[in-house]
Structure 1
Amino acid sequence: MFPPRTRMPEGDAAIRATDNDAALARLSAVRKGYLTDPFITAFVPRAHLEPPRPPLINIGTYVRSEALDELVNGWLSLSQQEGVQCQIVSLGAGSDTRFWRIATGPARDVLARYVEIDFPEITTKKAMAIRKSKDLSSVLGAPENVSLDRKANGGTTLYAPVYNLLAADLRTPPAESLVPVLGSGPEALLAPHLPTLLIFECVLVYMTPQASEAVVQWFTDYFSNNQSIPGGRGVLGSIVYEMFALGDQFGKVMVNNLKARNITLPGAEPYPTFDSLPSRFLRHGWDVAKALTLKDIRREYIDPSELARVSHLEMLDEIEELELVLAHYAITWGIKLPPGAELKARWQNWGLKRKAV
């Protein structure tokens, strides 16, 4: 979706550069009126100098954001109905602003813990942006309860009562990446008895299938081994947003465009079709797994009044091209449930709901 640049970064730098693309796309969508996000400018240096993105990118960013917001808000709502707080772990979080949007919204008291994990270079950049911004830092809590540390791996970590920013390379085995930052036993950062939602936004597609499988399995084991607590707790959910079905003509063009930027997508190989997407969770023994393309979400899962509103924001002539792009991006969500029929009935229908046309 993005044109090649000159002097392309290589290796990990090329992957890290995609976070900047996402931040600029969100900034553009906010300024054009598609989305509301008062925090994104803090993560974009010289934001006032950035030109708007094309309508195709603005609309894609809007559809992606609307769907993810609905899933996350649904998770918070179900936790509230259960009378418990919940945890969210955003892996490869980059410049995402979701924590601040939740923490300043009506569901802020439902959030027990919010954890972001990313490359050390990304967490260092984000920690500095948070420290410089009053709007961001004031949401974390009293200054004496917030700590900022430089770790041996070169990454900066930030700990606050609810928000935690951790540096790790998810491509390495979980024993080397997740265990050192999340801990284990009584000192673990995550409480295994609380509903916990994992978010992967364009992350796993850049990893080998073996590495991404190891991450999903680690979290599956962590919560499966601690799901004997009664009271409807220990639910594990996950959301994955990324490209798929890249074997057709349009998909090959996308792949070649990314290769021109020194970016490869090894994680897309196991998902050549739409029907293959739920297998990401089902093969790990999860109870529910569903998927939708952004094309279908735009057509059937966004309120018609909202679609009418955004249709007046910009002129878009390339509807066919838009739908072709959106058909190659999907959101997959899944749930791993602890035993209990009552709990299962409450949570198994979590997901996007079709809107009346």
Structure 2
Amino acid sequence: MFPPHRQGPLDGQFQSALPEGDTAIRQTDSDAILARYSAVQKGYLSDPFVRPLLPRGGHLQHPRPPLINIGTYVRSEAIDKLVDQWLDLASAEGKQSQIVSLGAGSDTRFWRIASSPRARQLAKYVEIDFAENTSRKAMAIRKSKDLGSLLGKAEDVKIVNGGTGLHSPVYHLLPADLRLPPSEAMKVLTESSASGADVVLSPDLPTLLVFECVLVYMTPDASYALVQWFTDYFVSSDAVLGAVVYEMFGLDDAFGKVMLNNLKARNVTLPGAEPYPNVESLPTRFEKHGFTISQARTLRDIRRSFIGSDELERISDLELLDEIEELELVLEHYAITWGFKLYGKANATHWSTWGLKAEE
């Protein structure tokens, strides 16, 4: 079964301090980072920053099956394309972007961007997760030269909130429980950074929200309130607010019920999946908030139509896959949804080009 990747880690160390079920949800991030490490080992992906963020002993784990590696690859490629396009579109207007990764866990995207030619296109990169998770990541950053060196000068990197947060000129790691009312949870974005100069999140820059298997673990009311908070935050600007969601959906068929039962056995529930019985329903998540454009594609569709033939041929040579039907069935229950909302004088024609493009 394709693992329920959430970007928000940790093993059971903090179980007694959290509500029942949180430890199981956080454990799915260990699944995610180990799956990514497996895909890197097998040559599907290139990511020199994944190893410092592995759970203890993670580098000794056996590689995942081809089905997992391919699913991880498709997810990563699609989201990377959307993020890169977003940065390029903002740059074409002479602007830097902000990226806010919610439930970020062990994600490595900041470091991959910071070590690439697009580094200068980032004004802020913010990661938010449980305090237990951010403290673990802050510790990993301090221990790793590869991670720490891309944050800037040592004197400009500040550990805050008793080790649960980190501020640097561009990268910010912040603790918050996303299930709380946004007026409380999102205070971390409206407070000053360690330098005291500006609030962490500017209301005037193009801003992209990234939710990788996060909202599906929240109630629909909680996720609606969270997205609405961001929608309201930019209302007085000429900015553009974008969002990318990766999650499972359509779990009321036979395959979905098996998936749900397997998750329940791990003490994991998916209340956020209930409003989305099919791929056509996924764009309504953003349409409810008045987004200008909202689209969704299943990972099955993305693999078939949005990854180039040369690249598909390359990954097909990496491992023998004799479970094509099972792969397609799994990928059909995961999707990526993206959308954006324009404010003020933002250029609709310019931003309407953002999205996955079909490849030949």
Could you tell me the TM-score, scaled by structure 1's length?
Answer: 0.93
- Matched-pair contact (CA < 8 Å) for 2:189–2:201: no
Matched, 1:175 2:183: yes
> Aligned partner of 2:275: which letter?
P
Task: State the alpha-carbon separation in 2 of the partners of residues 3 and 168 from structure 1.
Answer: 25
Q: 1:38 aligns to what SS in structure 2? A: coil
Unaligned runs of 5+ in 1: 228-233
The 1-side partners of 2:313 and 2:3 are apart by 29
Q: Using a 3 Å threshold, how does the CA distance of structure 1 residues 2 and 275 change in structure 2: closer, same or farther?
A: closer
Q: How does 1:240-259 map to 2 (within 5 A)?
A: 240-259=245-264
CA contact (8 A) 2:104 2:128 kept: yes
The 3 A distance-change label for structure 1 pair 42 and 282 is same
Judging changes above 3 Å, is the alpha-carbon distance between structure 1 residues 143 and 292 closer, same or farther for their aligned structure 2 residues? same
Contact 1:168/1:181 (8 A) holds in 2? no
Counterpart of 1:344, as a letter, is A
SS of aligned partner of 2:117: coil
Contact 1:3/1:257 (CA < 8 Å) preserved in 2? Answer: no
Encode CA deviations 1:113-170: one digit per residue, 9 max, x unaligned.
000000111101111110000000000011100001234xxx6000000000000000
Counterpart residue type for residue 346 of structure 1: H
Aligned residue for 2:289? Answer: 284
Q: Report 1:149-164 matches (<5 A).
A: 149-151=160-162, 156-164=164-172
For the residue of structure 2 that corresponds to 1:349, the secondary structure is coil
One-letter amino acid matched to 2:353: N
Matches of 1:80 and 1:305, distance apart in 2: 29
State how far apart, in whole Å, the 1-side matches of 2:178 and 2:123 are. Answer: 23
Which residue of the partner structure matches residue 277 of structure 2? 272
Tell me by how many angstroms 1:187 deviates. Answer: 4.2
1:99 CA displacement: 0.2
Q: Tell me by how many angstroms 1:273 deviates.
A: 1.3
Whole-angstrom distance in 1 between the partners of 2:329 and 2:199: 44
C-alpha contact 2:126 2:171 (8 A) present in aligned 1: yes
**Cα distance, 1:345 vs. partner?**
0.2
SS of the aligned residue for 2:347 comes to helix
Match of 2:347 in 1: 343
Runs of 4+, deviation exceeding 4 Å: 7-10
What's 2:320 paired with? 315
Aligned to 2:36: 26
Q: Tell me how many residue pairs correspond in the alignment.
A: 344
Aligned residue in 2 for 1:62 = 73
CA distance in 1, matches of 2:250, 2:341: 25
> 8 Å contact 2:175–2:188 — kept in the other structure?
no
1:217–1:284: 8 Å Cα contact kept in structure 2? yes
Q: Secondary structure at the match of 1:334?
A: strand
**Aligned residues: percent identity?**
64
Q: What is the RMSD computed on CA atoms of the aligned residues? A: 1.8
Q: Distance in 2 between matches of 1:11 and 1:210?
A: 19
Distance 1:173 1:277 in 2: 23
Residue equivalent to 1:355:
359
Distance 2:171 2:198 in 1: 16
Q: Which amino acid aligns with 2:62?
A: P
C-alpha distance in 2, partners of 1:174/1:3?
A: 28
Question: Which amino acid is 1:226 matched to?
Answer: S
Match of 1:15 among 19, 25, 45: 25
Alignment check: 8 A CA contact 1:92 1:119 kept = yes
Where structure 2 has 5 or more consecutive residues not aligned to the other structure, the ranges are 5-10
Indicate which of 45, 52, 55 corresponds to 1:35. Answer: 45
The whole-number CA distance in structure 2 between the counterparts of 1:264 and 1:127 is: 28
> In structure 2, what is the Cα distance between the partners aligned to 1:181 and 1:103?
21
The CA distance in 2 between the partners of 1:24 and 1:119, in whole Å, is 20
Contact 2:178 2:226 in 1 (8 A): yes
Q: Shift of residue 182 of structure 1?
A: 3.4
Structure 1 residue 262 displacement after superposition:
0.3
Secondary structure at the aligned position of 1:37 is classed as coil
